Structure 1
């Protein structure tokens, strides 16, 4: 072995040792924020969130932020959902291929643009606005909408009209605003798509596109806000595997249900999510 090869091997060994030391340091920092028991609970919640998302196309952030927020700090729960949300939404949006995803982007371009701008702006308010107020703002209209639909209200929204565009902008702004603060922008988006009467496969795809772009923006927004750093980023990365596994399992169920069953499941999840948000807001 010549001197050059020896030098390369030596540098590689030191690099590996350095990486191990960095990893060990990050893990030590993480364990100051969360116990092993809490970590296992979070893995289970990520799996459950993935299953529900696989069936109805949303609710992963809601389940993770509400469930994990009950056992760990809210900021850590918010960080935990960012990477698995980003990965699973990418899978969901591309399930029918890039061409179909691009058509969804074009159809809902106004919703996407307005929502992303509001998400980036509101992300900086995550440590300013009280959590209880934020949860109430999300929970009240979503619970009311889901309950009304379950009880038989058939209210639909116009699409392509001037009034429809104004409503689209308003709902997108609201979804983006609460999404930047909480990581939960699904409920108003789902309520909007449901009220439009969107077909099952298209709704799943559209949700994946909207949430995927939102998750991309949320990742960089919370790198800037400080919520996502090396320590919390590692924690978030560990949530990807159970989330993806859960989504695969839920997708098997989703493929076997018809449009009516899909809508009922969507409204049921919306209603339960809304009630849970109100519980956390007021109790």
Structure 2
């Protein structure tokens, strides 16, 4: 296991718990919160390695909870394929670039995602555009995932634009995040950037993440999910600006 200090281990556990709460309330956000916060404490590469196991297990749980796995695979297979290709290619930047550059890129992605989600109007993609748009979105999502460890741009806005029912939307997001996590793991291991110690530490993040998700589901019944989501996005926006400016210094 990497030589982490006790304060850093406590920060990692707290981060996964908080990220789990966000996912429990909103249905998404665990990888984004974990990468944003851990990326401000560690290098984005180290943060991405710690993210792998909690992200995989929580998103598989979300993926298998819905009823239309086969239907979604048939509809989105080309997007999932290009996510894998793009992530493996993009991971060359995460594993080979400088920490300052990857920190700036991570900050910019957080800014774009938070600002878009807060301010932009929902899109509506026509079904006839999907055959050529899905693989393009998947490739760009993969490149961003590989370079920064964040899975949400442009996959989340695109999937939300497909006019899916609520349960199908949650399952489709789980599918995209699961594939992105697997592809990121492949990219990191391919470039020798995810040693066993990081994987063991990542496994320890599963328990606080699951506890956070359970807590988030309880919180969801007591507060407005919309208000919580807006506060979460404002936090990501501020964190993104901090990371981008810190990486430029």
Deviation of 1:211 after TM superposition, in Å, equals 0.8
Task: Please say which of residues 189-198 and 116-125 is displaced more in the overlay.
Answer: 189-198
Q: 1:146 to 1:264 in 2, by over 3 A?
A: farther
Q: Could you report, residue by residue, the CA deviation over 1:131-176 in whole angstroms, capped at 9, with x for unpaired residues?
A: 2442254245324422324xxx3x42223123x4444333222211
Q: Could you report, residue by residue, the CA deviation over 1:2-39 in whole angstroms, capped at 9, with x for unpaired residues?
A: xxxxxxxxxxxxxxxxxxxxxxxxx4xx22xx201110
Identify the residue that residue 38 of structure 1 maps to in structure 2.
8
Q: Could you report, residue by residue, the CA deviation over 1:207-245 in whole angstroms, capped at 9, with x for unpaired residues?
A: 111111221222222112222111111111111111122
The answer to whether residue 97 in structure 2 is matched with residue 128 in structure 1 is: yes
When normalised by structure 1's length, the TM-score is 0.75
Identify the residue that residue 250 of structure 1 maps to in structure 2.
216
Identify the residue that residue 192 of structure 1 maps to in structure 2.
158
Structure 2 residue corresponding to 1:278, chosen from 226, 236, 241: 241
Q: 1:264 to 1:207 in 2, by over 3 A?
A: farther
Structure 2 residue corresponding to 1:138, chosen from 89, 103, 109: 109
Structure 2 residue corresponding to 1:79, chosen from 49, 53, 68: 49
Cα RMSD for the two superposed structures: 2.5
Identify the residue that residue 48 of structure 1 maps to in structure 2.
18
**In the alignment, is the contact (CA less than 8 A) between 1:64 and 1:81 conserved in 2?**
yes
Q: Distance in 1 between matches of 2:231 and 2:170?
A: 16
Larger Rg: 1
Please list every run of 5 or more consecutive structure 1 residues that lacks an aligned counterpart in the other structure: 1-26
Please list every run of 5 or more consecutive structure 2 residues that lacks an aligned counterpart in the other structure: none
**In the alignment, is the contact (CA less than 8 A) between 1:146 and 1:271 conserved in 2?**
no
Q: Could you report, residue by residue, the CA deviation over 1:68-87 in whole angstroms, capped at 9, with x for unpaired residues?
A: 22223332222111111011
When normalised by structure 2's length, the TM-score is 0.85
**In the alignment, is the contact (CA less than 8 A) between 1:143 and 1:274 conserved in 2?**
yes
- How many residue pairs get aligned? The number is 242
